[in-house]
Structure 1
């Protein structure tokens, strides 16, 4: 039982109990190989919630399909009685949260069992998933490589089988990237799909919430819990567009081979796939290359006071904040063009789903990160594709692809315009079970 769906079936059949599922999750979270995955293990809460779920099920009053299923939360969400660190030692002495974030409460009201809070890149401000203070979660499919970030702990918690579901945040790629690097599924919802953000922010303009699982069915099930009433009928047509240019040409040979293999599989199934330029995407990237990024400017505005503080921050975080000290001064054209480019992006896709690799290279080896300049270049290249799509307001889901077991996994990224989440999830569900090239741990 590694998926939420299989756990739900087992609960319904009486083959297990929520208490047993919670106990197994707690045990896996405490294993040595799970070191640095969770920053707070809420074991007592999980046991209490699991026992309550079993009592509800015994009297035929389950709250929904996911009642009694364990879940973990990125440590930017408040969970009552725990300190919200945002992955930074500078928050260690903050007061514990008095109440849960609204999304945590919504999950609890649906019967999900909160196992704890997961590790992340400091302040959610990196795509590599490295945390020097709390430790870097070990990528279970490529232990010598980074897990991806910023939602590293949430991705690893699912990839390692600690929990079947986890929640993260995605500003520039912080769900899609670690999912691709860890060989699982990561979904970035349209910003606001789950209501107003009440987690520790990075960029108010671009922050969104994302979900991790190992099957699309599990993503859809959790999305239905967290976004009730947001579900339309699936689309009748399934058309795909591959963007011409750097999005599919600036790839390492291994990533190119994985992408070409999955596209060939889809074409053999007579899927409608076309290659053409997407001007809005190209323009978005040129704007950011020329003027800087919104996330860089807004992260600096939020955290600049830390540069002169005695509270600890990591060297890589300090470098990124310092590098963006004057980004806001040149960013007006990026903000000004955003709304029109989002509309152009939707018009150019014309009902199709965008297909491209999630990241253009394999997860970097941890041994490559000793040089600060190389570290920063790898971080930027890791986020280049997903950051541009975030700027265009896209929702996106990455599916794992691996043409050869001898190399790390990569991701197939499906993206749709803002608000087209139902179509996106339907397209992902149609692709996932039918493609031999898609692999899961």
Structure 2
């Protein structure tokens, strides 16, 4: 019962109880090696939610296929009675949330059991997942490697089996990157798919919700709860575009080998894969290289008051904010070009999905990031692919693909224009089935 779907089926059959599943999850969350994974463990809430789920099952009134299944939330979502820290010591003494965030309530209404709130990079403003105050969640693949961020705790909680589902946010890659680094599946929904964001923001223009799991079916099941009016059957078109240029060429040899092996599996299964340069992708990257990033400009606008205050702030966060102090003077062309480039990107794909490596290099080693320059360079390189795809408004999902030469599992990223989430999830389900069959045959 490693997946949410399997847990739901076992609960429906009476083979286990939600109370048992919740108790196991809480116990795992409280282990000494989990202290940096979850910022808050909501054991009491989990207990009464699980007991209620068990009563519904006995009455034959289950609220859906995930009723009674454990879930965890990135600590940017409000959970009633807990402090929302956004991964920062500067929020430790804030007032506890008076009510749940809307998606937390929606999950509760469908019977999911909240285990707690997961750790993250401070203010969700880094792709590495390092947190100096709450600790850095240990990458289950290798504790010497970064877990990826900013949704580091959410990815590690799923990869370690504390919960089968976790919710994060993704602005520049904050779900897709840690999922790839931890060897699981990470889905970035189209901005607005679940309504207006009601989590602590980083960039109101680019913020989106994401889901982390080990099964595409689990993500589809939770997506149906979060977006109940968007249900429908989608048939994968099995048409893909592989972009030329830095997105597939500026990668390490191991990443390149894994990517080509994944393409070969997809092609053998009957997919149409075309390689070509994407003008919109190159133009978007050139704009950001010249004018800066929207997330940098908006993060500075949101948090600049902290720089001259006595509020605690991590050195790396301070450096990123200070480096964006002049971005407001150069960012206007980046905003101005966004709408046309998004339309051009959709036209260039012409219904196909974009395929590329999620990250261009393996997870950096923590020991190699002690130097500020090395840290900042690694952070920028880690987010370079996912950041430009966020700017282009894509929904995206990263799937784990085989490890070359004994290295870490890497990610294959499928992306489609905003609003094409149903097609994306159908494509991902098909591709994941292909990869699983290839490994077991």
The TM-score with structure 2 as length reference comes to 0.98
Q: Per-residue deviation at 1:35?
A: 2.3
Contact 1:432 1:438 in 2 (8 A): no
Report if the CA contact (8 A) 1:145-1:364 is conserved: yes
Distance in 2, Cα, partners of 1:91 & 1:169: 18
Query: For 1:13-48, what per-residue CA distance to the aligned partner results, in whole angstroms no more than 9, with x for missing partners?
Result: 111000000000001111122220000000000000
Aligned to 1:331: 331
Are the equivalent residues in 2 in contact too, given 1:261–1:437 (CA < 8 A)?
no
- The aligned residue for residue 8 of structure 2 is 8
The unaligned stretches of length 5 or more in structure 2 are: none
Q: Using the alignment, how far apart are the partners of 2:263 and 2:100 within structure 1?
A: 43
Offset at residue 436 of structure 1 (A): 4.5
Rounded Cα–Cα distance in structure 2 between residues aligned with 1:231 and 1:60: 24
Deviations 1:341-374 (A, max 9, x none): 0111111100000000000000000001110001
Q: Does the CA contact (< 8 Å) of 1:262 and 1:438 recur in 2?
A: no
Greater shift, 142-151 or 31-40, is seen at 31-40
Q: Secondary structure at the match of 2:60?
A: coil
Deviations 1:160-197 (A, max 9, x none): 00000000000000000000000000000000111110
How far apart are the structure 2 equivalents of 1:124 and 1:403?
28
- Cα offset, 1:271, TM superposition: 1.3
1:415 is the counterpart of 2:424 = no
The answer to which of 224-233 and 304-313 deviates more is: 224-233
* Partner residue, 2:22: 22
Detail structure 1 runs of 4+ shifted over 4 Å in the superposition: 436-440
In structure 2, the partner of 1:299 is 299
Offset of 1:236 from its aligned partner? 5.5
What residue in structure 2 maps to residue 359 of structure 1?
Answer: 359
- The answer to which of 122-131 and 431-440 deviates more is 431-440
Superposed displacement of residue 415, structure 1: 0.1
Q: Once the 2 structures are TM-superposed, how far is the Cα of residue 405 of structure 1 from its aligned partner?
A: 6.8
Equivalence map 1:357-436=2 (5 Å)? 357-404=357-404, 406-436=406-436
Match of 2:182 in 1: 182
Is the 8 Å Cα contact of residues 414 and 428 (structure 1) preserved in structure 2? yes
Q: Which residue of 2 aligns with 1:233?
A: 233
After TM superposition, the score normalised by the length of structure 1 is: 0.98
How many residues align? The count is: 440
Distance 1:150 1:437 in 2: 31
Task: Give the secondary-structure state (helix, strand or coil) at the position aligned to 2:422.
Answer: helix
Aligned to 2:169: 169
Report the Cα offset of residue 9 of structure 1.
Answer: 1.3
Q: Contact (CA 8 Å) 1:169, 1:209: kept in 2 or not?
A: yes
Question: Is the CA contact (8 Å cut-off) linking 2:2 and 2:164 kept in structure 1?
Answer: yes
Answer yes or no: is 1:253 the counterpart of 2:253.
Answer: yes
Partner of 1:211: 211
Q: Which residue of 1 aligns with 2:35?
A: 35
Question: What value does the CA root-mean-square deviation take over the aligned residues?
Answer: 1.2
Contact residue 171 and residue 387 of structure 2 kept, 8 A = yes
**Mapped partners of 1:232, 1:172: distance in 2:** 28
1:402 CA displacement: 1.7
Following superposition, the deviation at residue 387 of structure 1 comes to: 0.2
